[in-house]
Structure 1
Amino acid sequence: MPRDTVMDDYLAGNTYRAKENAAALAAMPLAHAAVYKPMPDVRPEYLNSGFQEVTSRYGTFDRYLDKARGLSHRDVRDLREDLPVG
């Protein structure tokens, strides 16, 4: 999947969860809400940090899936067949 698509889908979480996140923040004391505010947000730098970590530790996402997640090529192929793309 193209990285831009991954980013767009990731950032859409801010829209889809906006009401729930706002309600949770509104129910907190102001001082707590200020601390909690970044936690439910999704931001490009959060996802980019994840991409950087995978690249620095494993070189590629394929190696990450194999070494860190224990997924075989067959597992990945099956997931790609079952999950919507783009």
Structure 2
Amino acid sequence: MLLQSIAGVPVQTVMDDYLLSNTYLEATNQRTLAQITGALGPQAAANLTPVLGVDQSFLQAGLDQITETYGTFDKYLTEGLGLSEETIDALKDKLVD
């Protein structure tokens, strides 16, 4: 998310990519849940299911907090993360053709 945003990727595209994690991890997560069910029972698997996936509200909460605390993503990068403009520009140059 950070690198995509620095590269100028629209927020909706970042969100869409984030949510694709559920698709790409589905088979792995099903195997993991089967192992947990076998070892610890179905309730343990049910309890852990939410942490194996992603939810739009998770990323949205982070974005909302950035906006509330820093006002803009650029201020988050400089004030929140302490990145210099030079570092941000260097990252952009490496990420964008």
- Normalised to the residue count of structure 1, the TM-score between the two structures is 0.89
What displacement does 1:67 show? 1.3
Give the whole-Å Cα distance in 1 for the aligned partners of 2:94 and 2:29. 30
Give the whole-Å Cα distance in 1 for the aligned partners of 2:24 and 2:94. 23
Higher fraction of helix: 2
Q: Could you tell me which runs of 5 or more consecutive residues in structure 2 were left unpaired when the two chains were aligned.
A: 1-8
Pairs within 5 Å for 1:1-86? 1-28=9-36, 29-83=41-95
Distance 1:84 1:11, change over 3 A: farther
User: What RMSD over aligned residues (CA atoms) do the two structures have, in Å?
Assistant: 1.5
Q: Could you tell me which runs of 5 or more consecutive residues in structure 1 were left unpaired when the two chains were aligned.
A: none
What displacement does 1:83 show? 2.5
Structure exhibiting the larger radius of gyration computed from Cα positions: 2
What displacement does 1:82 show? 1.9
Flag as ranges the 4+ runs of structure 1 deviating above 3 A. Answer: none
